[in-house]
Amino acid sequence: MIAPNKIYVNTIAEFHRLSNRPEPEHPLLSITRCEETNWKPEGGIASLIRNFYTIALKKNVNAKFWYGQQEIDFNKGVLHFMLPKQIISIDASIERSNHSGWILLIHPDFLWNTPLAKKIKQYEYFNYNVNEALHLSAKEESTIINIFEDISQEYHNGIDAYSQDIVLAQIELILAYSERFYQRQFITRKKYNYGILEQLEILISDYFKNNDLAIRGMPTVQYIADALHISSNYLSRLLRTITGQTTQQFLQDRLLDFAKEKLSTTDLSVSEIAYELGFKHPQSFNKLFRIKTAQTPLEFRHSFNR
């Protein structure tokens, strides 16, 4: 992909002008049907950095999207979320028919001094990559569309003393349903998720066997997420759902498995094994091993060799 031009959009009014839409009916909020979007960047390709929250339900999008180097497929109905100042790249040179869906834009100032201003940051999926969008069933899609339609109706009714509270309640409803649907997706997309888990096992095994532990120490969560081309939050949620562990717990268990292998199959001293595993001090290795196994490394070695 050719390096796209970066376009910074600070206000919702700017975004409306950029996408050839009428001025927004609220300065801090906008809801639009995807069918009404007819903007194409110069040369067909651009990266957008928008200074507001985006919640979008898209289907059959008449463009290609990238998050980093990974292309995203919006042929089927998916719901995705973006924080202010995240980047998404667009190639609108590809024509597709039946482009449909909804785009909800929320400026952070719309949430100012409301409970949702803090709560919205607790929804992990705003930190998921766009390629980790929520794939909706037909029933779930219908539920979300109904809420978008309710927001749209309130949005076009005009601003009064109750508008903000009503729209905020509807936004919270979308977020609550999305939390539920994401949990369902981690359970039902087993083939995809277990594929990631299998890649993770291979990645950790190779890292340990290549002596990277001694040179670089334990791999960070971000290192692993980057290697798997997923976000660290998505990786953590996936592991919690499948294994009941955090990423750090999962890594520590694999480290202990590797330590047990060395204790049972080599004549290396405990100190030598500790250094090979990336521990600067053997005492730290002894402490972790004892916490995890209720034995010291030497006790494990002796019990194994009986």
214 pLDDT tier (thresholds 50, 70, 90): confident
**Cβ proximity of 207 and 226 under 8 Å:** no
Query: For the whole model, what pTM was predicted?
Result: 0.78
Q: What percent of the chain has pLDDT over 90?
A: 46
Q: Output the pLDDT for position 242.
A: 87
Instruction: State the average pLDDT over residues 256-268.
Output: 91
pLDDT at 305: 63
Q: What is the pLDDT of residues 111-158, one digit of tens each?
A: 999 999 999 989 999 988 877 888 888 889 999 999 999 999 999 988
Q: Where residue 71 falls among pLDDT bands split at 50, 70, 90?
A: very low
The pLDDT, as a whole number, for residue 34 is 82
Query: What is residue 44's predicted lDDT score, i.e. its pLDDT?
Result: 62
Q: Which amino acid is at 70?
A: Q
Percent of the chain with pLDDT over 70: 86
- Which distant-in-sequence residues (6+ apart) come within 8 Å of 25 by Cβ? 155, 156, 158, 159
Residues 151-205: tens digit of each pLDDT: 999 999 887 889 999 999 999 999 999 999 998 888 877 777 788 899 999 999 9
Domains of the chain: 5-188 (2.60.120.280), 191-304 (1.10.10.60)
How far CA 179 is from CA of 47, 73, 129, 140, in Å, comes to 28, 21, 16, 12
Mean residue pLDDT of the chain comes to: 85
Q: Per-residue pLDDT for 84 more than 90?
A: yes
Model confidence at 110: pLDDT above 90: yes
Tell me what pLDDT residue 39 has: 63
Ramachandran angles phi, psi of 8, nearest 5° = -95, 130
Residue 7's nearest CA partner among 43, 47, 45, 44 is 47
